[in-house]
Amino acid sequence: MTNSYLSSIIKQFEYYKSLGDKTFEQLSNEHIHWQYNNESNSVAIIVKHIVGNMLSRWTNFLTEDGEKIWRERDKEFIDTYNYKEDMLMDWNKGWECLFEAIKPLEENQLEQIIYIRNQGHTVTEAINRQLAHYSYHIGQIVFLGKMITNNHWKPLSIPKGKSSSYNQEKFAKDKGRRHFTDDL
């Protein structure tokens, strides 16, 4: 793999963080607390859950189980943020924990076994598990953002009706190896 996996996975995590960031920019303090119904999660609750998961999984992740004894998962589904700024501080704290854990990794560590709830994972498997988990929830955040802002939503990817011009721009460039997030 010669570290292509590590650089790629970091870019993938950065991409999903940016989707959340760009969604939050479009939401007010009131918006982050909106719930479709009592069984649904608000943006604030989803963020609280993601952050709780990140802090648990990525704190000392090579040496301690990913489900920390201090994590109170059930409390992650109770909205306690008073202000959007508080939510964003936690959001960034979670991402900082993740990036501090994976950026120093070296290729020879990818097959190391780590544990999440006593279930062994290679480092690669654990990273992939978390990428899938976070992208799932960030997709929920983006969808909620679109619902909440309705006609005021600013697209985070290729806007409707713009695929042709987007493709023309891409195909006008020479073929080359690059990550899809390089142009974002």
Give the domain extent around 90.
4-171
| Three-state secondary structure string covering the chain | CCCHHHHHHHHHHHHHHHHHHHHHCCCCHHHHCCCCCCCCCCHHHHHHHHHHHHHHHHCCCCCCCCCCCCCCHHHHHCCCCCCHHHHHHHHHHHHHHHHHHHCCCCHHHCCCEEEECCEEEEHHHHHHHHHHHHHHHHHHHHHHHHHHHHHHCCCCCCCCCCHHHHHHHHHCCCCCCCCCCCCC
Decide if 164 is inside a domain: yes
Decide if 155 is inside a domain: yes
* pLDDT tens-place string over residues 13-40: 999 999 999 999 999 999 999 999 999 9
For residue 3, what pLDDT band results from cuts at 50, 70 and 90? low
Decide if 33 is inside a domain: yes
Decide if 179 is inside a domain: no
Res. 182: pLDDT tops 80: no
Decide if 108 is inside a domain: yes
pTM: 0.93
CATH number of 9's domain? 1.20.120.450
Decide if 48 is inside a domain: yes
Kindly report which listed range (67-71, 88-92, 150-154, 169-173) carries the lowest average pLDDT score.
169-173
Decide if 167 is inside a domain: yes
Decide if 61 is inside a domain: yes
Res. 7: pLDDT tops 50: yes
Average of per-residue pLDDT across 67-89: 97
Domains of the chain: total: 1
What's the mean pLDDT when you consider all of the chain?
94
Question: Residue 1 has what pLDDT?
Answer: 45
